[in-house]
Amino acid sequence: MKKAGIVLIILLIISASVFAAFHYKMHGVEQAVLAHLINEEKVPADRIQLTEGFIANLSGERNWMVAVKLKQDDKSYFYYKNSQGEVILESYTEDGVEHYVDE
C-alpha cells in the first residue's frame, strides 16, 4: 500500500510540473504578443478584444501561438514568438480564409 501511494504522489507531481511548464510558456508568449501589439504596432490596449494562446501542432516555436481579435476588425491574427524573442505574425483569417504572411 505504501508503494502505491508513493507512485501516485510521484505521478501527481509530474503531472503538476508538466501543467505548470505549459502554463508558464503560454503565458510568456501571450504577454510578449500583447507587449508587441501595444509597444511596437501601437495598437491601443482598449482595442484588443481577445488574446488566446493555443498549441498549433506546428514545429518549433510556431507550436505556441496566440490568436488576437481586435475591435472593429473582422480579421483574426495569429502570432508566435521565435527563438530570438521576436513576435512574428504567422497568419490571419478573413471571411473564413486563412492568409499566410511571408517573413
Q: In what order do the strands lie in the sheet with 97-100?
A: 48-55, 64-70, 76-81, 87-94, 97-100
- Beta-strand ranges (E) seen in the chain are 48-55, 64-70, 76-81, 87-94, 97-100
| Domain ranges, residue 14 | 2-100
Cα 38 to Cα 71: distance, rounded to the nearest angstrom: 14
Give the pTM: 0.87
Q: How many domains does the chain fold into?
A: 1
Q: Which residue has the cell 499566410?
A: 100
pLDDT < 50 regions, the chain: none
Q: 71 and 49 in contact (C-beta within 8 Å)?
A: yes
What pLDDT shows up at residue 2? 86
What pLDDT shows up at residue 12? 96
What pLDDT shows up at residue 51? 97
